[in-house]
Structure 1
């Protein structure tokens, strides 16, 4: 498994700064193939992205996630900026698209959807044997993806306002035409045909812009789970990766045992995702077991039960238990941001300052 994380670049006043290219240039260019993974720019000049190497051990992955965050801050230091794990900026911004032909074309085609896409996500890649196994996994993990979103939710503020959402990033991201949950595909041929048809509409630039909640990676032999906000602290990222791998392994075993894939309608999955983005872990989620509202603690517990065998076999069960305990005790990213806002007397700069520290904790 491997993890990609996106970070905002902010100045001393907490506002995003368009300095990614300058920071990477000052650092000697994008950082690749190091012990800490890669550090590169993203769609917006106000962002950096890190990527780990593929890791079998959760402990090794956790170490590299932390090292990647430290390296991102080293790059930001070159231009007097700070790298912060916030999925949206609490402070109002005007985004600056990176000057690459593909990105500029996306800005032209998609208008305000692209111009306002200063959002930071976390993508988890989990290796699969081939496309057949990958599609079988995609067909089985959809009902649980909103729970992963809720665990990561870290974007309550947008353009200076409290949105009342735990993950407003999920709402901004939903503007892309190919975002969201998918139907059951059944075979790799049907999956690839669906992607080809979307590209053939001329609406998206290429297959890389097919932004399903989970997809076959266009680059790696992995299932790529894309629903999560960038997590406030590296421990939550590690938790997310462990649960994502557990989901993929559980789904692969189910397929190998010829157990049927669920046939839940995409509109039901989309509604569950909306609820996860609204509530995070502070309210009810939609339980995939009943499709009725249930407390987030219960739904997360059901997810852990669902993937328990895979977690135990990977040696991840104790770590997941500890990391979940920390999350429940301290609150999710959105909860912590709102607590810092109150602590700082309504100063969003204080939220950003506290988040900068938490990003490296």
Structure 2
């Protein structure tokens, strides 16, 4: 059933981005987040993360992609300038590309994070992955749960498009999103279920906390969830985008998905059942191969080029993108991705041409700041022609 473009006001949305702080010479992680935050003097849009080499930003609540883009550019520049004064670089990468991770000594000294480390000590050594979280406003928890069910088959193409973590410990991991298998080790890092109502969803969250799989509702890491803090659906599947335009693409598609699923719910269209095994198989294929490779069609289980699965996603949300005025921006960035410019591909090109960890992280930092006009962006030194991901 093809629904007409929605006529309602655009849903609000916002983006949270997590970044790696890196040493500009060795390329390894820099435990500098406390100093960066001190230099930012209480800036509310920038907060600490689980480990001291991570830092998180949050945009305002927006209705348009242009507003969102401006927030993302401003926040990346703000953090990068503070990081420069702290002697480190800001990298938009789903995993730290170089060096050994600090484990327990790297945990941020806040009670919640210390308690989390004590609860899950075996997971700390590989922790520190960085994601892009897109929040989309919803009318009610009941409709939010319906959205989560409808999102299940589309999480894999979002992951494929947003894959940006092919490197770890100075080597290619073989995954376009090396973050995905690491993050999925957490007990609640799973796809959302097809919950029948909001009460069942809440009971599932309570059960996870009661079992000890999470400390509280904030620690339930479903790939898409009802935010425990805001009246939003929070889509958490993608790696942090290498560039702001990557993040804008993810936000545009995420909102269009939520709008489309809500329109279906209002029109009485039933959720198309997708088996858990196919959802998981599609996610694994997307994380392994990214957008250029093959994926598992979550509706049929067939192996298909991921670009065709992405085409299906675009066709599904096209009316919502048109109604919001987002279609041109989304298609423009999809064309960049299809031309071989995914985050994972750009990181691999940088890695092949860099010659040293310092040159690589300088190029990655330059890509992270592409489009900004900050002193940090002007100081960033990309690698030689033909290898820069910001070209």
Note whether the superposition's TM-score is higher than 0.5: yes
Asked if 2 retains the 8 angstrom alpha-carbon contact of 1:154 and 1:232, the reply is yes
Q: Report the CA distance between 1:109 and its aligned residue.
A: 1.5
1:350 counterpart residue number: 359
CA–CA distance in structure 1, aligned partners of residues 327 and 107 of structure 2: 41
2:349 counterpart residue number: 339
Q: Classify the secondary structure of the residue corresponding to 1:272.
A: helix
2:67 counterpart residue number: 60
Asked if 1 retains the 8 angstrom alpha-carbon contact of 2:165 and 2:344, the reply is yes
Q: Report the CA distance between 1:86 and its aligned residue.
A: 1.0
Q: Report the CA distance between 1:289 and its aligned residue.
A: 4.3
CA–CA distance in structure 2, aligned partners of residues 268 and 290 of structure 1: 8
Q: Classify the secondary structure of the residue corresponding to 1:351.
A: helix
Please list the CA deviations of residues 236-261 of structure 1 after superposition, one character each: whole Å capped at 9, or x if unmatched: 10001000001101111111111111
2:57 counterpart residue number: 50
Asked if 1 retains the 8 angstrom alpha-carbon contact of 2:274 and 2:298, the reply is no
Normalised to the residue count of structure 2, the TM-score between the two structures is 0.88
Selected match of 1:79 from 73, 77, 86: 86
CA–CA distance in structure 2, aligned partners of residues 127 and 261 of structure 1: 20
Normalised to the residue count of structure 1, the TM-score between the two structures is 0.95
1:22 counterpart residue number: 35
Instruction: Spell out the pairing of 1:1-361 with structure 2 (5 A cutoff).
Output: 1-13=13-25, 14-29=27-42, 31-32=43-44, 38-95=45-102, 96-345=106-355, 347-361=356-370
Q: Classify the secondary structure of the residue corresponding to 1:119.
A: coil
Asked if 2 retains the 8 angstrom alpha-carbon contact of 1:97 and 1:115, the reply is no
Q: Classify the secondary structure of the residue corresponding to 1:125.
A: strand
Q: Classify the secondary structure of the residue corresponding to 2:90.
A: strand
Residues 269 and 288 of structure 1: CA distance in aligned 2, closer, same or farther (over 3 Å)? closer
Aligned residues: 354
| More divergent stretch after superposition (328-337 vs 277-286) | 328-337
Which sections of structure 1, spanning at least 5 residues, go unmatched? 33-37
Asked if 1 retains the 8 angstrom alpha-carbon contact of 2:94 and 2:130, the reply is yes
Q: Classify the secondary structure of the residue corresponding to 2:339.
A: helix
| More divergent stretch after superposition (325-334 vs 134-143) | 325-334
CA–CA distance in structure 2, aligned partners of residues 351 and 268 of structure 1: 37
CA RMSD of aligned residues (A): 1.2
